[in-house]
Copies of this chain bind each other. A is one copy, B any other.
């Protein structure tokens, strides 16, 4: 982290000149590097190579079910057991479904729009207005779902402990149109924030004007630690039940960033009433998830300790990348007053904050130099970061040498755009 300083005018001239020269050199190198998405690197996927030959000769689940045939809407019990502990959902309230938790979030919204949620007075589609609270910066695909279904998005600032709970409590108490909040509670996308126990307790206990308010608890990085002190979060489902709001939480998770990004298993966990509701809807839609893939995952991961051991191997590949990012940002931007950045203890992202009004221009300049970043603003509803200051950096996919080049190039762009802004202000 750095604090904002402004160099005096002659010094600024030199810094800007150097940044321009460095940028010209960068462009001349003709790079082609991609830091856009939180995609696992091939080496991470190789860790689960054994999956590609499983289940081999076996095709029966522990209870004798033939996994190749139809049926089993809840998913394989033994896989749900493995993830019950990791996702803090009792196995009998945890469903193991398709290959994408985003799909499950989408479908929960669809079913709430076109059917009646437990506790709801009517279908969301029959209500004048539906709004979700969107902690910002946040995950663009969550916001994309709201946009797609015409759900108003109300930004709420993130703090080091999770969303600003004073603001959240005020908004949900006064407006019955507020039906949901997006949360990535552990190693949040993109800030790497871990929700505090107090935040979880307040989310569970707060009075809401809407009887059918839901917390969309996207625990995407439940086991995705980058240090040897794994973060723990409080058990939201238990807290909701204890507060008398048993149906408030929808918990989502997946193995997309554990085993295979396109060929994993996604999970949904909630109260008995919500699980029954989703199953009743799913029953109309499907004759069951891909249980062969679920058996494959059971055989490969074995148990919760197996998942943890696997995630240690993932960490061995990811940690050096995050260290590279931190090292270069500190070396190139430390003390310049041009940027601050996060040092996440897990998850997939580093948030780089540049001077107000500079993020789009940094991303544009980087693209011109062959370094593609997530569009500036993607971390905010409708792609609109009002300060134009947040850049999400996704270091997982490139190899270390490419990552080194890309982050160094990015810092050149930050210096160029930052000093240009200071020079304009000094005129």
Neighbouring B residues of A40 by C-beta, 8 Å: 69
Name the interface residues of A316-342: CB closer than 8 Å to any CB of B: none
In the complex, chain B residues whose CB is within 8 Å of the CB of A53: 53-54, 56-57
Q: Is A10 an interface residue (CB 8 A)?
A: no
Q: Which of B49, B99, B290 has a CB less than 8 Å from the CB of A262?
A: B290
Taking the closest CB of chain B, its distance from the CB of A103, in whole angstroms, is 5
Contact call B70/A37, Cβ cutoff below 8 A: yes
* Interface members, chain A 79-117 (any B CB < 8 Å): 98-100, 102-103, 106-107, 110, 113-115
- Please report the C-alpha to C-alpha distance between residue A99 and residue B68 in the assembled complex, in whole angstroms: 11
Pick the contact of A103: B102, B260, B285 (CB < 8 A): B285
Tell me, rounded to whole Å, the shortest Cβ–Cβ distance linking A147 to chain B. Answer: 8
Q: Is the CB of A263 within 8 A of B290?
A: yes
Whether A286 pairs with B67 at a CB distance below 8 angstroms is no
Count of chain A residues near B, Cβ 8 A: 56
A232 to chain B, nearest CB (A): 28
> CB within 8 A of A106: which of B98, B284, B290?
B284
| B263 lies within 8 A of A102 (CB) | no
Measured CB to CB, the closest approach of chain B to A285, in angstroms, equals 4
Q: Does A273 reach chain B (CB closer than 8 Å)?
A: no
Within the complex, which residue of B52, B59, B99, B284 is in contact with A59, where a contact is CB–CB below 8 Å?
B52
With known contacts A66-B42, A70-B262, A102–B286 Cβ distance under 8 A: yes
Q: How distant is A48 from chain B, measured CB to nearest CB, in Å? A: 8
Residue interface mask A278-296, B partner, CB < 8 A = 1 = 0001001111111111000
Contact B114 A70 (CB under 8 A): no
Q: Does A39 contact B (CB under 8 A)?
A: yes
Tell me the nearest residue of chain B to A397, going by C-beta: B69
Residue A241 CB within 8 A of the other chain: no
The answer to whether B260 touches A292 (Cβ under 8 A) is yes
New A-B pairs, 20, CB < 8 Å, besides A48-B68, A260-B292: A37-B70, A39-B69, A40-B69, A49-B59, A52-B57, A53-B54, A68-B260, A70-B256, A70-B262, A98-B290, A99-B290, A100-B285, A102-B286, A141-B284, A141-B287, A144-B284, A148-B281, A262-B288, A263-B290, A290-B293
